[in-house]
Amino acid sequence: MTAGFFERVADRIESTGGPVSVGLDPDPERIPEFLADHDLPRWAFNRRIIDATHEHAAAFKPNAAFYEDPDGWRALQETVAYAHGKDVPVLLDAKRADIGNTTRQYAQVLDDVDAITVNPYMGRDSLQPFLDREDKGVFVLCRTSNPGGKHLQDHELADGGTVYEHVARLASTWNEHGNVGLVVGATTPDELEAVRDLVPDLPFLVPGVGAQGGDAEAAVEFGLAERDGRDVGLVNSSRGIIFAGENTSGEKAYFDAAGDAAKRLKRRLATHR
Ligand SMILES: O=c1ccn([C@@H]2O[C@H](COP(=O)(O)O)[C@@H](O)[C@H]2O)c(=O)[nH]1
């Protein structure tokens, strides 16, 4: 039987020494000049980032926004296959969900990747085809890291609690197969702690450390759940790792800096566990 996504993440946390998710967001404007002539610069960039960081990565998290064009989709396919070749699971940050036939189509991407982020706004039926994929991880947006996350998610409900707390409780009822996690940002550590208290068993994807200045200590303290006696959950940094080499000179130094940034984050998280 194939191991489920969270089991594979727990394995990676053990083998790499931490819950680091390396975000593969190859902004075309920031891809270094020395890769500009490549047939698929985003793929060339990601390949080198994967080479430099995989030994510290519990997962890679490409954001679909950086691949939604024909060349981008090819770059994503190459990237996913290469990450899998290094035995690292891939979480596609796509924030999907829609009505029945559309969401069934969206969920087919789970044939290629190991987990996905989804948007709970349209309710359970909009997520069902994702939830049905027992061996795949489904991370439900709960309390996002952006400044405007508070506008809707912190809204107080008439019967008590906030929208994000309601989402956390609902998502835990969608977890029949043990494949549901939550997205909770490191930029709001109090909310992160509150969600952990509400749903002690759900693993979180915690974005917002690094470039967004979130709280790495809170990310690791509250982001991880325990499953079969093992830590499971992911703390993501994208720009803070992949563009760490921007002020270096030469290709080797550029990607060494990414590897160092991933290792630094791993060590920083380890000191707080
Ligand atoms: O609440 C959220 C949900 C998703 N993200 C995504 O994570 C990365 C963060 O990138 P950084 O460069 O480390 O800031 C990016 O893909 C976001 O779309 C998030 O930041 N917050």
* Tens digit of pLDDT at every position of the chain (273 positions): 468 999 999 999 999 999 999 999 999 999 999 999 999 999 999 999 999 999 999 999 999 999 999 999 999 999 999 999 999 999 999 999 999 999 999 999 999 999 999 999 999 999 999 999 999 999 999 999 999 999 999 999 999 999 999 999 999 999 999 999 999 999 999 999 999 999 999 999 999 999 999 999 999 999 999 999 999 999 999 999 999 999 999 999 999 999 999 999 999 999 766
Amino acid found at 104: R
Shortest-distance Cα residue to atom 21 of ligand 1: 145
Say if the ipTM goes beyond 0.95: yes
Q: How many whole angstroms from 23 Cα to the centroid of ligand 1?
A: 8
CB neighbours of residue 260 within 10 Å: 16
CA distances from 151 to 87, 95, 125, 154, 219 (A): 39, 18, 25, 6, 22
* Ligand 1 nearest atom to the CA of residue 212, by list position: 14
Indicate if ligand 1 lies below 6 Å from the C-beta of 23: yes
Q: Tell me, what's the pLDDT at 3? A: 82
Q: Tell me, what's the pLDDT at 273? A: 66
Q: Tell me, what's the pLDDT at 26? A: 98
Indicate if ligand 1 lies below 6 Å from the C-beta of 145: yes
Q: How many whole angstroms from 239 Cα to the centroid of ligand 1?
A: 9
Indicate if ligand 1 lies below 6 Å from the C-beta of 126: no
Q: How many whole angstroms from 228 Cα to the centroid of ligand 1?
A: 29
Indicate if ligand 1 lies below 6 Å from the C-beta of 210: yes
Candidates 238, 243, 246, 264: which one to mutate for ligand 1, based on the most atoms within 8 Å of Cβ? 238
Q: How many whole angstroms from 1 Cα to the centroid of ligand 1?
A: 32
* Ligand 1 nearest atom to the CA of residue 63, by list position: 16
Compute the distance between CA of residue 132 and CA of residue 127 in angstroms, rounded to an integer. Answer: 9
Domains along the chain with CATH numbers? 5-270 (3.20.20.70)
Spatial CB neighbours of 77, under 8 Å, sequence gap ≥ 6: 112
Quick one: three-class SS letters along the chain?
A: CCCCHHHHHHHHHHHHCCCEEEEECCCHHHCCHHHCCCCCHHHHHHHHHHHHHHHHCCEEEEEHHHCCCHHHHHHHHHHHHHHHHCCCCEEEEEEECCCHHHHHHHHHHHHCCCEEEECHHHCHHHCHHHHCCCCCEEEEEEECCCCCHHHHHCCECCCCCEHHHHHHHHHHHCCCCCCEEEEECCCCHHHHHHHHHHCCCCCEEECCCCCCCCCHHHHHHHHCEEECCEEECEEEECHHHHCCCCCCCCHHHHHHHHHHHHHHHHHHHHCCC
Amino acid found at 146: N
Q: How many whole angstroms from 207 Cα to the centroid of ligand 1?
A: 5
What residues are annotated to the active site? 95
Compute the distance between CA of residue 164 and CA of residue 141 in angstroms, rounded to an integer. Answer: 9
Compute the distance between CA of residue 53 and CA of residue 127 in angstroms, rounded to an integer. Answer: 32
Q: Tell me, what's the pLDDT at 203? A: 98
Indicate if ligand 1 lies below 6 Å from the C-beta of 25: yes
